[in-house]
């Protein structure tokens, strides 16, 4: 939360305290309804418990849940919210009662904004969302489609290795976080838009600004009557970036329509080509009333970009930082790569299923550093009783997977340590069936890009560990690596990882 937001909260707090005191004097019997809700901190008027969130809400919420329990009721501004913080509770909300909690909260602005109503991530549950989800899982993110982009991933990973070889020859430290982010952005843009980020448009800048605006804390989301005042300028920034995104996507779609006439049999279809080939047809044959038009295409494409742009690179950044902090884990991974792949070639995607230790490294890193630690908020579609507590319709549901991943009663006393071996024979995977480990969420709203995300993360991580020996810049020891977090839509490392590569393959 930035300082201007904090200042606004403090001034609201003062007003709130006055009205709270008046309420206590005038309405002594207002607690009977609250008693049926899950336990939680007593909210202040207007701001509720927003002031308790701090800069890293997943951490503050874990402390609060330790006091009030794994199903905690908290009011954020005027929005009634339930915080879920144990595997058993997560199973209730995302498994047993998934159908009740499968919607997303909507701000009044969303009514006017097709990007949040015609896409997937923020669209409310219903026939439209179901149709778009099916379209994405069948046509864009299916196993066959993901495999068809293997060549793009191989080329981009090869480029990364080549650029790191140059740094290795010069014995130079590289900003690994930036290099990996660039590679993942290239992979995503070539697959989704069929073009590199270096084109004529400021594609990368616009998308990064859109992610920054979407991830910024906006008080009006929690106290809607403040929205017309636009105290933080969020609405103005949102409208401006929305215009730029729209113009950019229109231009890219126009280019695709124009170029389609010249495609030959070698042409690799990207997501826009696929969606354009379905234009004017029903999104789903069973829901004929929704027809694909340019608006749907833009909204879906934007969701694909925002879903894939930062998630994979952030996951790799955390995992590689953990490997640099734990040289024995790095050594074991490199040993596995030498045995399975050998030093005479780079890693291929067909190797990934044989790399068991790599799989454990990725799970362990996602346990400690889930890139979306509070998942994407859900909303209850009807009143519900969970564990004998009342959850009113339209409550916001936040699942704190970061807290679940570090709970010593689930993961034993060494829960804060990076120990990939813990996954050696416990059968836990990240696909959403094991509620103690949910980096991709679970249930109807679970991540549809999980297969693609996992391949990207494993491939690039394996390539980095296989092709190079890594040392920290002079004077640094593993425990000096900064693991602090920056909170936004996702939670990346606050500071970049720098390291010195030495090429180690024999080709």
Closest listed residue to residue 183, CA positions, set 153, 208, 145, 147: 153
Please report where in the chains the tokens 């073009």 appear, as a residue.
195
Q: Which is nearer to ligand HEM, 222 or 440 (CB)?
A: 440
CB of 409 to ligand HEM, least distance (A): 23
Is 447 labelled a binding residue? yes
Sign of CA dihedral 62, 67, 73, 75: negative
Sign of CA dihedral 414, 316, 449, 351: negative
CB of 488 to ligand HEM, least distance (A): 14
Closest listed residue to residue 114, CA positions, set 2, 223, 242: 242
Window of 35-43, 333-341, 448-456, 469-477 that interacts with ligand HEM by CB under 6 A: 448-456
Q: x/- binding map, residues 120-139, to ligand HEM, per CB under 6 A?
A: xx-----------x------
Widest Cα–Cα separation across the chain: 80
Q: Which is nearer to ligand HEM, 43 or 439 (CB)?
A: 439
From 75, 179, 325, 445, residue interacting with ligand HEM (rule: CB under 6 A):
445
Residue ranges in 355-374 that form contacts with ligand HEM under rule CB under 6 A: 371-372
Q: Which is nearer to ligand HEM, 5 or 483 (CB)?
A: 483
Window of 41-49, 75-83, 242-250, 441-449 that interacts with ligand HEM by CB under 6 A: 441-449
From 40, 453, 492, 501, residue interacting with ligand HEM (rule: CB under 6 A):
453
DSSP secondary structure, 463-480, as one string: HHHHHEEEEPPTT--GGG
From 206, 352, 376, 428, residue interacting with ligand HEM (rule: CB under 6 A):
376
Phi-psi group of 377: left, alpha or beta (phi > 0 → left; psi -120 to 50 → alpha; rest → beta): beta
Q: Which is nearer to ligand HEM, 310 or 336 (CB)?
A: 310
Q: x/- binding map, residues 224-253, to ligand HEM, per CB under 6 A?
A: ------------------------------
Number of residues in contact with ligand HEM under rule CB under 6 A: 26
Window of 18-26, 75-83, 230-238, 435-443 that interacts with ligand HEM by CB under 6 A: 435-443
Tokens read off for 444: 């109807």
Q: Which is nearer to ligand HEM, 84 or 465 (CB)?
A: 84
Dist CA 240 CA 247 (whole Å): 11
* Interface with ligand HEM, residue 183, by CB under 6 A: no
- Cβ-count burial 494-505 (b if 16+ within 10 Å, e if not): eebbbbbbebee
- Could you tell me if 102 and 379 are in contact, meaning their C-beta atoms sit under 8 angstroms apart? no
Dist CA 241 CA 167 (whole Å): 36
Residue ranges in 279-338 that form contacts with ligand HEM under rule CB under 6 A: 303-304, 307-308, 311-312, 315
From 222, 440, 470, 487, residue interacting with ligand HEM (rule: CB under 6 A):
440
Please report where in the chains the tokens 């913080």 appear, as a residue.
85
Q: Which is nearer to ligand HEM, 94 or 241 (CB)?
A: 94
Give the angle subtended at the CA of 304 by the CAs of 303 and 307, to the nearest 5°: 80
Spatial CB neighbours of 363, under 8 Å, sequence gap ≥ 6: 420, 423, 428, 429, 430, 437
Q: Which is nearer to ligand HEM, 145 or 466 (CB)?
A: 145
Compute how many other C-beta atoms are within 10 angstroms of the C-beta atom of residue 67.
10
Q: Compute φ and ψ for 345, nearest 5 degrees.
A: -155, 165
Indicate the annotated binding residues: 447
Indicate the annotated binding residues for heme: 447
Binding site for ligand HEM (CB under 6 A): 120-121, 133, 303-304, 307-308, 311-312, 315, 371-372, 375-376, 439-442, 445-449, 452-453, 457
């Amino acid at each position: 939360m930035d300082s201007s937001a904090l200042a606004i909260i403090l001034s609201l707090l003062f007003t709130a305290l006055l009205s709270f005191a008046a309420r206590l004097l005038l309405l002594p019997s207002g607690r009977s309804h609250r008693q049926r809700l899950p336990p939680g901190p007593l909210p202040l008027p207007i701001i509720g418990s927003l002031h308790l969130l701090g800069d890293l809400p997943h951490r503050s919420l874990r402390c609060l849940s330790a006091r009030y329990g794994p199903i905690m009721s908290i009011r954020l501004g005027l929005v009634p919210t339930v915080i879920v913080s144990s595997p058993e509770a997560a199973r209730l909300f995302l498994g047993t009662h998934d159908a009740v909690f499968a919607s997303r909260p909507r701000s009044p602005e969303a009514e006017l904004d097709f990007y949040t109503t015609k896409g997937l991530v923020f669209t409310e549950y219903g026939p439209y969302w179901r149709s778009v989800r099916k379209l994405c899982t069948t046509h864009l993110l299916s196993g066959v489609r993901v495999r068809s982009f293997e060549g793009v991933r191989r080329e981009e990973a090869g480029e990364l290795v080549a650029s790191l070889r140059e740094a290795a020859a010069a014995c130079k430290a590289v900003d690994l976080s930036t290099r990996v982010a660039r590679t993942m952005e290239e992979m995503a843009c070539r697959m989704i838009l069929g073009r590199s980020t270096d084109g004529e448009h400021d594609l990368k800048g616009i998308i990064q600004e859109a992610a920054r605006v979407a991830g910024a804390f906006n008080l009006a989301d929690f106290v809607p009557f403040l929205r017309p005042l636009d105290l933080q300028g969020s609405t103005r920034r949102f409208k401006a970036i929305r215009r730029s995104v729209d113009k950019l996507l229109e231009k890219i779609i126009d280019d695709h329509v124009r170029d389609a006439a010249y495609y030959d049999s070698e042409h690799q279809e990207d997501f826009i080509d696929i969606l354009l080939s379905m234009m004017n047809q029903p999104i789903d044959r069973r829901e004929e009333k929704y027809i694909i038009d340019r608006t749907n295409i833009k909204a879906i494409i934007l969701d694909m970009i925002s879903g894939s742009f930062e998630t994979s690179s952030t996951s790799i950044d955390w995992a590689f930082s953990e490997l640099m902090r734990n040289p024995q884990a790095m050594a074991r991974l490199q040993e596995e790569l030498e045995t399975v792949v050998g030093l005479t070639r780079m890693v291929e995607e067909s190797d990934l299923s044989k790399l068991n230790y790599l799989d454990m490294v990725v799970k362990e890193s996602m346990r400690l550093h889930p890139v979306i630690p509070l998942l994407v908020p859900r909303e209850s579609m009807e009143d519900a009783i969970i564990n004998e507590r009342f959850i009113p319709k339209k409550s916001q549901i936040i699942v704190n997977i970061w807290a679940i991943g570090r709970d010593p009663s689930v993961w034993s006393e060494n829960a804060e340590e990076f120990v990939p071996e813990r996954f050696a024979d416990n059968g836990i995977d990240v696909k959403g069936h094991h509620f103690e480990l949910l980096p991709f969420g679970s249930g109807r709203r679970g991540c549809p890009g999980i297969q693609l995300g996992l391949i990207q993360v494993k491939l690039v991580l394996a390539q980095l560990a296989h092709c190079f020996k890594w040392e920290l810049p002079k004077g640094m020891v593993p425990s000096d690596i900064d693991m602090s977090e920056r909170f936004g839509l996702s939670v990346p490392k606050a500071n970049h990882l720098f390291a010195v590569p030495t090429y180690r393959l024999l080709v």
